[in-house]
Amino acid sequence: MKISVFGTGYVGLATGVCFADMGYSVMSLDVEPEKVEKLNQGIPTIFEPGLEDILKRNLAAQRISFTTDYKMAVESSDVLFIAVGTPSGDDGSANLDYVVSAANSIGQFMNSKKVILTKSTVPVGTNYLIRDTIRAALKKKGSSLEFDMVSNPEFLREGSAIHDCLHPDRIVIGFENESAAKVVRRLYDPFIKNGAKMIEMDIPSAEVTKYAANAFLATKISIMNEFSRLCDKVGANIENVRVGLSADHRIGPHFIYAGVGYGGSCFPKDVKALIYTGQKYDEDLKILNAVEQTNFIQRERFVNEVFKRVGQSGKGKKIAVWGVAFKPGTDDIRESPSLYAIEKFLASGFSVSAYDPVAAENAKIHLGARSDLSFVAHQDEALSGADALCIFTEWKSFLQPDFAKLKKSMKYSLIFDGRNIYDLEVMRESGFEYHSIGRPLVGVQK
C-alpha cells in the first residue's frame, strides 16, 4: 500500500514520517517549495521532539520523499491523506479553501481508485464537500472514477506529535462503506498491533468527535480559569482546589490547570468553528460561547493586572517576557497569549525584551522588527533593568531560576506568572512581589 500525504505542517509531516517508519512508502506534498526542499534535505521545518531523527532515518531508507508535484503524488499512491490547514475565517468558521484546493487537485490527477482520508479538522459535512469537489473535477475531465472518503481526525498534541502519531490512544475513522474500512484497518494495522484502539463510526460522527474533544478540553481549562478568578476574590488558592478536584477520578488530573488562557492552532479556532456550526444549524452552543469569552477575559485580565501595578504608560519602562510559544515543547505561536500581551505592552509604550528557547524566530516574523522589542539568546538577558518579568510558557528552564541573580538583574523584584510555576513560599522567601493566577499575592512591595 502506498501513501501520499497532502500538507507538511504539524499533522501532515508527523503523519508522513510515522507511516514511513512503519515501513510504508510515503510521498508527502506541500505547496510551499522551500518547505519541500528543506524536508528532502532532512531539515525539519517545525520544532517537534524526535522529528529530525525519524525524518532522517526514513529519508535514508528511501521510504519518504517530499514533492510539490500533485500529479506524481496522486498517481503514485492508493491511499491519500488530506492534512492541510483549516484556519479561522473572519466570521469564526473554518476556512476550507486549502481543503477544497487539495480536493480539486486530487480530482484533477486521479487515475485509479483511491481511498481518501481527511486528517484536517473539518466541520461536519466537509467530507461530503471534498467528495463532491473531487467528483466535479473528475467530471470536468470526463472521468467517473470511483473513490472512497474516510474521515480520520487527528488527535496528536504539538510538542509530542511524533510520539502521539506512533502511539495514538485512539484512531477514529468515519466511513460509508465496508471496503474503505477494510483498507483503513489494514493501513493502521502496525499501529493497532502496537496497542492503538480503532473506533469506527459514520462520517458526521467522526467529524463532530474531533471538535467535541477539543471543545471539551478547552472547557476544562476555561472552567478552572473561571474558578481561579473566584479564588482571587474570596482568598482561596486555585492550586489547592485543583489538587482537591484531581483526586476525584470522575474529574481526573488533566487539563485542569488555571493560567493565562489557552492558545495554539487548535483550541481557539476549533471552539470558534463549533460555535459557528451551531449557529448554522440554529443551535446556540451556550457553554462554548462562555468558554471562549472566559479565555479572552483571562489574558485581558493578566495584562490589566500588569498595568495596574506598573502603570498604564510604559514610557521608559521595560517588561521582560519569558515564553512566546503557546505551550512548552513547540515553536507554534498561533494564538499565543504571550503575543496578545506583548502587543498590548508595546502599544502602551513599554519596551519588551523576550526570550523563548525555540519559538523566538516565529514571534519575530509575526511581530516584525521594531526598536522597542528585542528577542534575546538567553533567558537571563531579558531581565536586565526590567521593571517586571511576565511568564507565559512553562518551559522547563524557567522552573528553577537563580532568584538572587534575577533580583540583582531586574530594576524591581516583580513577577507576573501566567502559568503558576513557582511555589508561593519560595517566592516569599526570595523577596519577590509575585502575582500568579488564582493564588494569593505574595510579598507586596511598597
Give catalytic residues, as residue numbers.
266
Phi first, then psi: give them for residue 407, nearest 5 degrees: -60, -45
- The secondary element (H helix, E strand) that includes residue 28 is strand 25-29
Residue closer to ligand NAD, measured from CB, 11 or 386: 11
Contacts of 385 (CB under 8 A, 6+ apart): 318, 409, 410, 411
Whole-number Å distance between alpha carbons of 416 and 433: 9
Residue closer to ligand NAD, measured from CB, 98 or 147: 98
Q: Does 12 bind ligand NAD (CB under 6 A)?
A: yes
Residue among 31, 192, 201, 217 that touches ligand NAD (CB under 6 A): 31
Residue closer to ligand NAD, measured from CB, 140 or 408: 140
Whole-number Å distance between alpha carbons of 291 and 288: 5
Residue among 4, 8, 295, 430 that touches ligand NAD (CB under 6 A): 8
Residue among 28, 58, 88, 120 that touches ligand NAD (CB under 6 A): 120
Residue whose beta carbon is closest to ligand NAD: 9
Q: Does 9 bind ligand NAD (CB under 6 A)?
A: yes
Binding mask 155-184 for ligand NAD (x = CB under 6 A): -x-x--------------------------
Whole-number Å distance between alpha carbons of 173 and 157: 18
User: Interface residues for ligand NAD in 68-97 (CB under 6 A)?
Assistant: 83-86
Binding mask 236-275 for ligand NAD (x = CB under 6 A): -----------------------------xx---------
Residue 169: how many other CB atoms lie within 10 Å: 9
Amino acid at 178: E
Residue among 7, 107, 168, 268 that touches ligand NAD (CB under 6 A): 7
Q: Does 331 bind ligand NAD (CB under 6 A)?
A: no
Q: DSSP 3-state assignment of 283?
A: coil
Whole-number Å distance between alpha carbons of 293 and 278: 16
Q: Does 154 bind ligand NAD (CB under 6 A)?
A: yes
Q: Does 58 bind ligand NAD (CB under 6 A)?
A: no
Amino acid at 387: D
Whole-number Å distance between alpha carbons of 434 and 428: 8
Q: DSSP 3-state assignment of 277?
A: helix
Q: Pick the closest to residue 270 from 172, 161, 418, 153 (CA basis).
A: 153
Q: Does 341 bind ligand NAD (CB under 6 A)?
A: no
Residue closer to ligand NAD, measured from CB, 121 or 133: 121
Torsion of CA 148, 153, 156, 158, to 10 degrees: 110
| Site residues (vs ligand NAD, CB under 6 A) | 6-12, 29-32, 35, 83-86, 98, 101-102, 119-121, 154, 156, 158, 265-266
